[in-house]
A and B are shown apart, each in its own frame.
Chain A
Amino acid sequence: MTERSAQVTWQGDLMSGSGEIQEVPSGAFGPLQISWPSRAEDEHGGKTSPEELIAAAHAACFAMALAHGLAEAGHPPERLQTSATITFVPGTGITTSALTVVGTVPGIDEAAFLEAAEQAEEGCPVSGALKGNVELTLDARLAS
């Protein structure tokens, strides 16, 4: 069992207040500023948001699961470039996570790569946490 935690302090109301994600226990990032306008408007102003952090978690989880699947199938990757885009509709919630991957994988064909990517999308723990309430999409291709 693995536990990972993070702490946030918030001051004021939602619209005019602001928050800070404190330096995380690992020390890898933080403090990071958050606010409602930078979360819920198109312009993020260089600030992160819960949705961006979920995107980071999902892209990272997917990359790791795919690296594992490819290695198991005898095609260890040289490089995987993944991204996740989370769509947030204020008032409705988080509606989609769109994953993309461009892989550099010696000796694999497009079909086998796509199959491994689909399995990673299905099997990574963050996908497992999002599935059921969030639409997941996948766009996978090999680097040309």
Chain B
Amino acid sequence: MPRIERHADVAWQGTNARGTGHIDAGSGAFTGLEYSLAVRIGKGTEGKTSPEELLAAAHAGCFAMSLAGELGDDDAQIQVTANVVMDEVEAKGHLIVESQLHVRAHANVDEEAFRRAVQAADEGCPFSQLIKASAKVSIDADLEE
């Protein structure tokens, strides 16, 4: 069984409240992404990312691939939006409490087969599985004509 490793590096300067960090992907696909506390927990993003935005991208990518695998349709078109929710929980601090997936797909299957494929994709997507220990995964999925 192959073991695939992927890594990323972060350089953080200064305190949590006023410092900033920069994120580099091991693959080079993205480099120097800036983030800070104010952007992470604030309303505005100022063009900066956050751990939760990166997780949303990971979950949407993971689920889209799992669903493509379940549908097995060369002509499938899948669109997945993941919305990662972090909340402050009493006595536990900030926790990632939910990832909401919105799925739209065109594929050569009937509604029932599509439902089964979505269910199987959720069970098969490694990211869905790993966050279920602590957070909820909710999915709304539509098969479009």
Contact of B77 among A9, A63, A85, A133 (CB under 8 A): A9
Report yes or no: B76 in contact with A13, Cβ–Cβ below 8 A. yes
**Which residue of the partner chain A has the closest CB to B106?**
A11
Q: Interface of A with B (CB < 8 Å)?
A: 1-14, 16-17, 19, 21, 24-30, 32-34, 36, 39-42, 44-68, 70-71, 76-95, 123, 125-126, 128-134
A-B contact pairs, 12 of them (CB 8 A): A2-B85, A4-B83, A5-B84, A6-B60, A32-B30, A36-B65, A55-B8, A56-B23, A59-B10, A62-B10, A80-B10, A86-B5
Q: Is the interface of A mostly helix, strand, loop or mixed?
A: mixed
Q: Which residue from A50, A60, A129, A134 sits with its C-beta under 8 Å from B23? A: A60
| A59 with B9: CB separation less than 8 A | yes
Q: Which applies to chain B's interface (DSSP): helix, strand, loop or mixed? A: mixed
Q: How far is the CB of A129 from chain B (nearest CB, A)?
A: 4
7 tightest A-B contacts by CB? A132-B133, A68-B16, A28-B49, A14-B69, A26-B45, A48-B29, A53-B58
